Structure 1
Amino acid sequence: MLALMKDGSKVLTLPKFTPDTYIMSLEKYSPTILMLVPPMIIFLSTHPGVKSDYLSSLRIVTSGAAPLGALDEEKLRQKVGNHLNVIQGYGLSETSPGVTLIPLELQGKSPGSMGTPLPNTLIKVVDENGKHLGYNQTGELWVKGPQVMKGYLNKPEETEKTFQDEWFKTGDLVRCDEDRMVFIADRMKELIKVKGFQVPPAELEEIIRHFPGVADAAVIGIPHERHGEVPRAYVLPKPNSTIDVDKLQIYVASQVAKHKRLAGGISIIDNLPRNASGKLLRKNLKELYKNKGL
């Protein structure tokens, strides 16, 4: 916000997100830049009240706080037009907060990417033993740079577990392609372990969101006697839409490997828990399943 104001841009902030107020603001002010989180991007792409005309002046959308999949990115571009630049970045509070960002000259080359490392920033992708992995292999992201914190205040044990040879262990699973573009898979602690296979919830959520009538989705792992865990989906329908659960099961099964199918079932829900920055609170859904079986 301050960078835009420094350049003389008119900046509009809203104290609270409500669909009607946001749509009215788009229509009235014809923004050229929007700074968003993925749930709001999905809102722009899918809400019937958001007309393409309201976004005709839009040139840049920045997305952060959570991964935005390639399908969701392209869906927004289809609504706005190919002139739209969708700029994603990645970071954490512990990295002040930036690690990667998509340069404008590489925008659109790798939809769904978080971009390349910021200046003076080193990254590497490692396996569970800390061994460096090659291109297009998924592992944990480690970071080194001047923006990385020295440690957690008054928590020496947690600090020691978080660093190895001055590398900060993010706890996020990523892959890096030959162009050194970083793609986020999911949080390590939120992976679903099915018969020894690792299933990223975000991958399934993106697929489910592209089923007709689906506004949003969340996936968690639930206990299973033989497989350890299996994926279970919580689906938020669009207004005045009905989701055929059996057809959704078939649709997902046609898109993924057998161990990624929604063997834990599908629950239709009227609200998905998120924090203020738009991150899904999957732990809340796990508690809902544990306590109420929903």
Structure 2
Amino acid sequence: MAIRSPLPDVEIPPVSVYEYLFGTITDDDLERVAVVDGVSGEATTFRALRDRIDAVAGALAARGFGVGDVVALHAPNVPAYVTVFHGLLRAGVTVTTVNALSSAPEITKQLADSGARLLITVSALLPAGEAGARDAGLGDDQVVVLDGGPDTGVGHTSLADLLADPHPAPDVTFDPATHLAVLPYSSGTTGRPKGVMLTHTNLVANVAQSMAIGVGRDDVVPCVLPFFHIYGMTVLLNLALRTRARLVTLPRFDLAQYLGVIQEHRATFLFVAPPIALALAKHPLVDSYDVTSVRAVLSGAAPFGESLAGAVRARLGEHVRVLQGYGMTEMSPVSHCIPFDRADIPSGSVGLLVAGMEARIVDPATGAEIEQPADGVSGPGELLCRGPNVMVGYLGNPEATAETLEPDGFLHTGDIVTVDARGVFEVVDRLKELIKYKGYQVPPAELEALLLSHPGIADAAVIGLPDEEAGEIPKAFVVPVAGASLTEAEVIAFVAEHVAPYKKVRSVEFIDAVPKSASGKILRKDLRATAG
């Protein structure tokens, strides 16, 4: 039997993303600040933002872009991203968001696979963007550089050029339940990147479902997690716009700059990935800034242990709610969160299913369904989810779609979870990342959370190394805190004190940094490539 969300259902109106975010905005809210450039300090009101979005939609429609077209957006977090992204959606265009760190060949593949007719980028990313567009068959007139123009020496059409000849926003008609809003590409850490088909209804539903996180109209949200990633797109950008909170954009993560924005703008709600949470918990620079305005920190994109949550709270103040969410691109992305008003839910869990979601837990070895217990905690199994935020499928890849989506609509997440009697879920590990030591399953995430509780360890990652006798042995990659003196024997002994014998770390390597994706996921394949 499916496990249902204990949260009350939310209304998911059958409207476009634009209509959902701006269709009911009041005159009072139009005068509020919507977006602040964290670098320059320039502020944009909701009225100005809406007018610019309409202008971009009109300009694109006048150039022949609309329903059925795909446009690639390749830019960091700048205010223009907000305008152009929503202008594209307003015009009925499907947006494929491109990682700002993508190489030219990666851009070429995404443009070709998505069928994009236009690439919109910024001058700092133009070398890769231009080369990628050219190799995908796009001409110079099919590349727009947002900050281009005579001052930058960039000859492509700029945003100012697009808006020079004003056109009204078009009247666009489509079915939000079937029309694709965005085509983000999966991270590719477990295979070839795939275009994830998400409709307007998927995105609208997930913003409505994410209201439980507790962002309100008086919140100030620093935006360092990239908008091109679904976490930044839905949980920062769209949720903040819907609740009329204030966004402060930052094009990249620099701890001093981030802390400066928190202090200057009196930021209240921080959305982070575990690497940023680690910095907030352990970096000495935090003590040089006033962060007393922060009321909540929510981490997502990768596992976040109870010890790290406690360290963040101890550093920022016991009044700060430390929350966690869970999801994946294929779910727009949020399927679980700790609601702000549920202080009884452990910060190391991913909380409850969001409103309107169902889940199943399946034993990966036998396929048997694992039931939610009446008492205590269930056994571990793979999480499957179903809800209005689940993708249509993978673009042009029916085989991968069939492998991921069951005929009844349940999506395989590839994550191993447990659930307790209250409906609180905890992610144990990735199905493909479990270490098999002499037949026992060893979750790397459990060992990583333990290692991070050591005061001399700044960051850590664990992988399985092939071993003739054991099958695999756990190996830890450890980043020591600056000035700490650690030995391999000390780390091995620390872990051994806290875990069953089969979970012990058998090898330790000290490194300068744990390789991670833009969303904060540990790149274990990179560690395996260098492991001895």
Give the TM-score of the pair, scaled to structure 1: 0.92
**Which residue, out of 11, 22, 47, partners 2:247?**
11
Structure 1 gap segments, 5+ residues each: none
Q: Name the structure 1 match of 2:283.
A: 47
State how 1:39-118 maps to structure 2 within 5 Å: 39-51=275-287, 54-118=290-354
Instruction: Report the equivalent of 2:439.
Output: 196
2:368 corresponds to which of 110, 128, 131 = 131
Cα deviation, residue 23, structure 1: 2.9
Q: Does 1:224 align with 2:467?
A: yes
CA contact (8 A) 1:85 1:108 kept: no
Whether the aligned pair in 1 keeps the contact of 2:386 and 2:411 (CA below 8 Å) is: yes
Describe the superposition over 1:202-247 as per-residue Cα deviations: whole angstroms up to 9, x where unpaired: 1111111122321000000001111100000100112222222211
Q: 1:214: which partner in 2?
A: 457
Deviation of 1:5 (Å): 4.2
User: Over residues 74-113 of structure 1, what are the superposed CA-to-partner deviations in whole Å (9 max), with x where a residue is unaligned?
Assistant: 1111222232112221111111212112222213532211
Task: Output the amino acid matched with 1:65.
Answer: A
Residue pair 2:324, 2:347 contacting (<8 A) in 1 also: no
1:129-168 alignment runs, 5 A limit: 129-134=366-371, 135=373, 136=377, 137-166=379-408, 167-168=410-411
Aligned to 1:275: 517
Residue number among 246, 267, 282 corresponding to 2:489 in the alignment: 246
For the residue of structure 1 that corresponds to 2:450, the secondary structure is helix
Match of 1:121 among 336, 357, 362: 357
* In structure 1, C-alpha distance between the alignment counterparts of 2:319 and 2:512, rounded to whole Å: 35
Q: Deviations over 1:223-279 (max 9, x none)?
A: 11111000001001122222222111111100111111111x100001211111111
Which residue is 1:171 aligned to?
Answer: 414
Amino acid across the alignment from 2:358: L
Larger Rg: 2
Q: Secondary structure at the match of 1:242?
A: coil
CA distance in 2, matches of 1:122, 1:52: 45
**In structure 2, what is the Cα distance between the partners aligned to 1:260 and 1:247?**
16
Q: Shift of residue 118 of structure 1?
A: 1.6
CA RMSD of aligned residues (A): 1.7
- Shift in CA distance, 148/5, structure 1 to aligned 2, threshold 3 Å: closer
Change (3 A) 1:148 1:218: same
Q: Is the Cα–Cα contact under 8 Å of residues 345 and 424 in structure 2 kept in the other structure? A: no
Which position in structure 1 is the counterpart of 2:168? Answer: none
Where relative contact order (Cα < 8 A, 6+ residues apart) is larger, the structure is 2
Structure 2: state its 5+ residue gaps: 1-236
Q: 2 CA distance for matches of 1:271 and 1:79?
A: 22
* SS of equivalent residue, structure 1 residue 287: helix
- Paired residues of 1:221 and 1:230 also in contact (CA < 8 A): yes
Residues 174 and 184, structure 1, Cα contact 8 Å, conserved in 2? yes
Cα deviation for residue 7 of structure 1 reads: 4.4
Q: Which amino acid aligns with 1:24?
A: G
In structure 1, how many angstroms separate the alpha carbons of the residues matched to 2:404 and 2:242?
36
In structure 1, C-alpha distance between the alignment counterparts of 2:314 and 2:497, rounded to whole Å:
24
1:284 maps to 2:526: yes
* Percent of residue pairs identical: 39
User: Size of the alignment, in residue pairs?
Assistant: 289
Q: Which amino acid aligns with 1:75?
A: A
Q: What secondary structure, in the 3-state scheme, does the structure 1 residue paired with 2:330 have? A: helix
Hey, what's the Cα distance between the residues in 2 that align with 1:230 and 1:3? 43
Residues 214 and 236, structure 1, Cα contact 8 Å, conserved in 2? yes
